[in-house]
Amino acid sequence: MAMATMLGFMMAIIVITGIVGALHPSSNVEVVEPQTLHLNGEFVESNLGTAVEPDGTVTVRIVAQQYDFVPRCIQVPANTPVKFRLTSADVVHGFLLPDTNVNTMIVPGFVSEVRTSFAAPGEYAMPCHEFCGLGHHAMWAHVSVLPRERFANLTPLERTSCAPD
Ligand code: CUA
């Protein structure tokens, strides 16, 4: 009997903390509405891609969806702090840049933020690394790291279009 009471008490604690946690997500977690990403807020299409901040650092905003990253090609300057902000329009995806510290899950309803810096120009393949459906294996994008001076000369449109040179 005491055992059953204990168990009931523990279950109650788990349920209550679960409910409270769901109602009040911890403060370091940013939430977004996946259904309306394209309509308003930070992740509208015109706001995606690489943006240069007033302090010279770079912010890259990406939406993951079955089975694409938008935009699919990203250009960033070398030797510059880069902040990736990602969210999903549908299911859980993964964002991985091999040989860097960038490796995060992209969960619908939340913003994933990863900071890094690329020491040298180069091309990085960017596979989705979380199984997200039949097209998962074909879900790729890439990051093109350009010399700082070259990046500075790109127009805002060129920064997201990755036109071959
Ligand atoms: Cu998206 Cu796997």
Helix-, strand-, coil-residue percentages of the chain, each rounded to 5: 25, 35, 40
Q: What token pair was written down for 101?
A: 């510290």
Residue 126 Cβ contacting ligand 1 at under 6 Å: no
Q: Which residues of the chain have pLDDT under 70?
A: 1-28, 161, 163-165
Distance, in Å, from the CA atom of 24 to the CA atom of 21, rounded to the nearest integer, reads 5
- Counting atoms of ligand 1 from 1, which one is nearest the CA of 132? 2
pLDDT score for 10: 61
CA of 32 relative to ligand 1 center, distance in Å: 19
Residue 160: the pLDDT is 74
**Structure confidence at residue 25 (pLDDT):** 44
pTM assigned to the model: 0.79
Q: Say what the pLDDT of residue 91 is.
A: 95
Give the burial string for 9-26 (b: 16+ CB within 10 Å, else e).
eeeeeeeeeeeeeeeeee
Do the beta carbons of residue 60 and residue 76 sit within 8 Å? yes
**pLDDT one-digit tens code per residue, 114-142:** 999 999 999 988 899 999 999 999 999 88
In this predicted model, what pLDDT tens digit does every residue of 98-115 receive, in sequence order? 878 889 999 999 999 999
Cα of first residue to Cα of last residue in the chain, in angstroms, is: 75
> 34, 50 in Cβ contact below 8 A?
no
pLDDT at 64: 95
What's the token pair of residue 125?
A: 């393949």
Ligand 1 in contact with 86 (CB < 6 A)?
A: no
Ligand 1 atom at minimum distance from 91 CA: 1
